[in-house]
Amino acid sequence: MHVSIEEDGTEILKGLNLKVGSGEVHAIMGPNGSGKSTLASVLAGKDGYEVTNGTVAFCGDDLLELAADERAREGLFLAFQYPIELPGVSMSNFLKQAVQSVREHQGKEALTSGALLQMMKEKAALVHLDPALKSRSVNEGFSGGEKKRNEIFQLAMLEPKFAILDETDSGLDIDALRIVADGVNHLRSPERSFLLITHYQRLLDYIVPDFVHVLMNGRIVMTGGKELALELEEKGYDWIKDETTQLA
């Protein structure tokens, strides 16, 4: 896949190939500016990027043909690096609209208000969120940690097939990181795959990936198992830079 910024044509992803199988957890690591968040945004369907070349197959669909909301209804989920505050939009209304849209599309029957409430209660408990948050505005006045936990809460509510976590660990203290990781681990299943975008190996101590990829300069330059993350933590990225330049 090749992706450019629409506005000025800068190429960010320069031939990225990745296959995530059902139930797998992949981690993408890489230095700042390597294109990690661009990858997340492009997969989720954010405006402002042009895919100049390539395709993304998602459970038999051409993902790039779908609008952002269609992708979400098909079962793709993005946990935002910077969750957006929506003053005046209550969590309960937001979740109701989201859950019912997704369920309707997937041919599942609509939940009754009671069932929805019950579900919210259960899933909020997964990430230790106060159930009273349902009457609050989405992310407004949430602490950094609450915002990230709220992303995982939404993931749990929407039950996607494929979830991208864009630096969900950034800005979290150890306890919050553990809570988020526990939530994610709980949500792992043979039908659900994850793409974890992270700077730090620490997250991968808690959420153990099946594969670790190194993204540099818009390409995946190295793929390995979970031990690759440890190696990166120890040695940084420079040695990979050297190796890949030698190869090229």
Partner 1 sequence: MSMELKEQSRSGEDVFIERFEDLIGPNTNGSESEWTLNRRNAIQVFAQNGFPNKKSESYKYTPVTKWLQSQLKNGMHTAAGSSVQSGNLKNEALPTPLLDESEVRGEPSSLENMKGLHVHATNGLIRGSLSEALPTGLIICSFKQALVDHPKLLSEYLTKAVVLERDPFAALASAFAEDGILIFVPAGLEVEKAIVIHHDALFSNSLIQARLLVVAEEGTKVNVIEHFPFLDAGSSFENRVAEVFAGKGARVDHVLVMERNDQTLFVNSLFVHQDANSFFRTNTVTLGGGLVRHNLNFLPDAEECETHLHGLYVAKGTAHVDNHTLVDHAKPNCFSNEIFKGIVTNQAVGVFNGKVLVRQDAQKTNAYQSSKCIVLDRGARTYAKPELEIYADDVKCSHGATTGELDEDALFYLRARGIHPDAAKLMLLEAFAKDIIGLIDFDEVRNYLYQRLHGLLTVTK
Q: List interacting residues with partner 1 (CB under 8 A).
A: 44-47, 67-69, 72-73, 77-78, 80, 83-84, 86-89, 93-94, 97-98, 101-102, 105, 137, 154, 158
Tell how far CA 60 is from the center of its chain.
20
Nearer to partner 1, 34 or 139 (CB): 139
Minimum distance, C-beta of residue 176 to partner 1, in the bound complex (Å): 21
Minimum distance, C-beta of residue 188 to partner 1, in the bound complex (Å): 21
Minimum distance, C-beta of residue 46 to partner 1, in the bound complex (Å): 6
Measure the CA–CA gap between 177 and 106, rounded to whole angstroms: 32
Measure the CA–CA gap between 19 and 169, rounded to whole angstroms: 23
Residue in the block written with tokens 């609209």: 97
Nearer to partner 1, 44 or 124 (CB): 44
Nearer to partner 1, 158 or 184 (CB): 158
Start-to-end CA distance of the chain, whole Å, equals: 19
Q: Which residue, among 23, 21, 35, has the nearest Cα to 219 in the 3D structure?
A: 35
Q: Is residue 111 within 8 Å of 103, Cβ to Cβ?
A: yes
Nearer to partner 1, 72 or 165 (CB): 72
Measure the CA–CA gap between 72 and 104, rounded to whole angstroms: 12
Nearer to partner 1, 46 or 186 (CB): 46
Minimum distance, C-beta of residue 147 to partner 1, in the bound complex (Å): 12
Minimum distance, C-beta of residue 230 to partner 1, in the bound complex (Å): 32
- The number of residues making up the chain comes to 248
